Amino acid sequence: MSEEKSLNFIEEIIENDLAEGKYQSIITRFPPEPNGYLHIGHSKSICLNFGLSQKYGGSTNLRFDDTNPVTEDTEYVESIKEDIKWLGFNWSNEYYASDYFDQLFEYAVTLINKELAYVDDSSSEEIALLKGTPTEAGKESPYRNRTIEENYKLFIEMKSGKYKDGEKVLRAKIDMASSNMLMRDPIIYRIKHAHHHRTGNKWCLYPMYDFAHGQSDSIENITHSICTLEFIPHRELYDWLISKLEIYPSHQYEFARLNMTYTVMSKRKLLQLVNEGFVSGWDDPRMPTICGLRRKGYTPLSIRNFCEKIGVAKRENLIDLSLLEFCLREDLNQIAKRVMAVLDPLKLVITNYEDGKTELLNSENGPDESMGSREIPFSKELWIEREDFMEEPAKKWFRLAPGAMVRLKSAYIIQCDSFEKDHNGNVRVIHCTYFPDSKSGQDTSGISVKGTIHWVSVMHAATAEVRLYDRLLKSENPAAEEGDFKDYINPNSLEIIKEVYIEPSLSNATFEDRFQFIRKGYFCLDKDTTNGHLVFNRTVTLKDAWSKEVKKG
């Protein structure tokens, strides 16, 4: 079913620009700073930037915004590339802001020559003091009126390493009384004697974000430079620099970043979770990072569909995490192979079934016939889920209880005759009889039952470790809470079941496979799997157990 979708505001701008002939085709960019792993918020920006150039015929550059040598690393560069490819996008060019350092330096010299930039010897405290407040104009620096020659000489000396960090900065000469604080002679270059992950020790002088970003857009002829709302005040400076430098006029447009319930998204906070051991790493399946979601079993399509559904707006809001999970279930429902696994086993013996006999039963792999079927071994002793038996059944209980009948999935109808308890009073085994003429697909028994339960043959079962995840944070909006977000960490976000029983076909599971353990949730193989030891992650439950809990109170 195709939905007629109205255009978002950026699409409207682009369609207008194209209709007016302002551009023949568009160029966008995704500009991550390689100082951490990408998270679900970034995927919104990725889907938007790549989606626009796909829709309107154009291209998207991947540009690493690597102007801050201290926090950046090639480990992050590699992970970012892997994540974008996994999401299903290909960039036209791979660029680095650091490739433009020479050009940016020349731009700065141009500003100096136009008397639009000056070297300031003030300390950062002095600069802050003279900056004024939003309601009060700032004061001019005593260094503001240096000559072109003096500024040029000092700037070259700054580059040559003559000065220490913080001793001098280069500032744009704009307006100390501007109502926009960012226009009050912003710093555009600072001295930093630091090793850069790509340029090594060539530079001891680095451009500030505002001097690098817009100019990089311009160098690449970006037509639509899309960023998040907090950059609105930067747009005036973005435009000022482009106009004074007389370079390609890229335009900046701002959209609302993704915020999601029960999730923190700032890289700084995610780094704390990793460094302080709250999770096992950036790719811990509880992390909102792309690699964490991937490891948990998310599919690229589910994330792209989610980004499509949340749309692009100009106002901040909070998206419900359950929408992301909804998109995930929608996709997994189509592709996951239905299999049987028993997480909390109880033994069931079919007293009238022949000892030692094995029957291979045909079971469909999914709701769609094209997914095919497989054979599963059936025998006298089975594992079933402990919660599927009730000694004293509640009303409307359609599963096993003394005297009650159920269908064993893809097998026979059985009736429970008796059960035994251990010395602690726990049910140890239940005894049933089966109806040989009730075999699934060729049932002539005439018996109708309401419940179907899953099972695994004791003598054929394989075993696996299963990891069940819950949300990492207990707060619906952790960013809005007072105090430290780590006070809201859910202490029960991971439950490990060391040994569950799985049908033997699962021994051949691959990392690409997606499974529905029927009635138990969606699962995939975790990278901790070794030759003799399977580990499955629960990707998501079948239904939203959490919101049911909340409704119950």
By CB under 6 A, name the binding residues for ligand ATP. 31-33, 41-42, 44-45, 227-228, 257-258, 265-267
Neighbour tally for 217: CB within 10 Å: 28
Q: Which is nearer to ligand ATP, 32 or 345 (CB)?
A: 32
Contact (Cβ atoms closer than 8 angstroms) between residue 387 and residue 434:
no
Contact (Cβ atoms closer than 8 angstroms) between residue 323 and residue 309:
yes
Cα gap 157→160, rounded to integer Å: 5
Contact (Cβ atoms closer than 8 angstroms) between residue 81 and residue 68:
no
From the list Mg ion, ligand ATP, none, pick the one residue 58 interacts with, judged by a Cβ distance below 5 to 8 Å according to partner type.
Answer: none
From the list ligand ATP, Mg ion, none, pick the one residue 228 interacts with, judged by a Cβ distance below 5 to 8 Å according to partner type.
Answer: ligand ATP
Contact (Cβ atoms closer than 8 angstroms) between residue 450 and residue 398:
yes
Q: Which is nearer to ligand ATP, 225 or 516 (CB)?
A: 225
Integer CA distances (angstroms), 544 to 253, 322, 396, in order: 36, 8, 22
Task: Provide, rounded to whole angstroms, the least separation between the CB of residue 107 and ligand ATP.
Answer: 21
Integer CA distances (angstroms), 92 to 59, 226, 390, 551, in order: 6, 17, 61, 48
Task: Provide, rounded to whole angstroms, the least separation between the CB of residue 331 and Mg ion.
Answer: 30
From the list Mg ion, ligand ATP, none, pick the one residue 84 interacts with, judged by a Cβ distance below 5 to 8 Å according to partner type.
Answer: none
Q: Restricting to residues 177-216, which ones interact with Mg ion according to CB under 5 A?
A: none
Task: Provide, rounded to whole angstroms, the least separation between the CB of residue 58 and Mg ion.
Answer: 24
Cα gap 55→58, rounded to integer Å: 8
Contact string 6-35 vs Mg ion (x = CB under 5 A): ---------------------------x--
Task: Provide, rounded to whole angstroms, the least separation between the CB of residue 274 and Mg ion.
Answer: 18
Task: Provide, rounded to whole angstroms, the least separation between the CB of residue 353 and ligand ATP.
Answer: 57
Contact string 33-62 vs Mg ion (x = CB under 5 A): x-----------------------------
Contact string 450-489 vs Mg ion (x = CB under 5 A): ----------------------------------------
From the list Mg ion, ligand ATP, none, pick the one residue 42 interacts with, judged by a Cβ distance below 5 to 8 Å according to partner type.
Answer: ligand ATP
Dihedral (Cα; 280, 283, 285, 290), 10-degree rounding: 160
From the list Mg ion, ligand ATP, none, pick the one residue 290 interacts with, judged by a Cβ distance below 5 to 8 Å according to partner type.
Answer: none
Q: Which is nearer to ligand ATP, 152 or 231 (CB)?
A: 231
Q: Which is nearer to Mg ion, 33 or 236 (CB)?
A: 33
Task: Provide, rounded to whole angstroms, the least separation between the CB of residue 88 and Mg ion.
Answer: 23
257 is catalytic: yes
* DSSP per residue, 482-533: SS-GGGGB-TTSEEEEEEEEE-GGGGG--TT--EEETTTEEEEE-TT-BTTB
Cα gap 409→400, rounded to integer Å: 13
- What residue has token string 């499974």? 515
Beta-sheet strands, E only, within 301-412: 337-339, 341-342, 345-350, 359-364, 373-378, 381-385, 405-408
**Token pair belonging to 496:** 């490990």
Q: Which helix (H) or strand (E) holds 191?
A: strand 187-191
Neighbour tally for 97: CB within 10 Å: 24
Task: Provide, rounded to whole angstroms, the least separation between the CB of residue 226 and ligand ATP.
Answer: 7
Q: Which is nearer to Mg ion, 231 or 398 (CB)?
A: 231
Of 63, 173, 184, 267, which is the active-site residue?
Answer: 267
Helix intervals (H) in 21-71: 40-56
33 is catalytic: yes
Q: Which is nearer to Mg ion, 209 or 278 (CB)?
A: 209
Of 131, 190, 257, 374, which is the active-site residue?
Answer: 257
Q: Which is nearer to Mg ion, 33 or 476 (CB)?
A: 33
Of 11, 33, 381, 465, which is the active-site residue?
Answer: 33
Residues in the site for Mg ion, rule: CB under 5 A? 33
Hey, which residues are catalytic here? Answer: 33, 257, 267
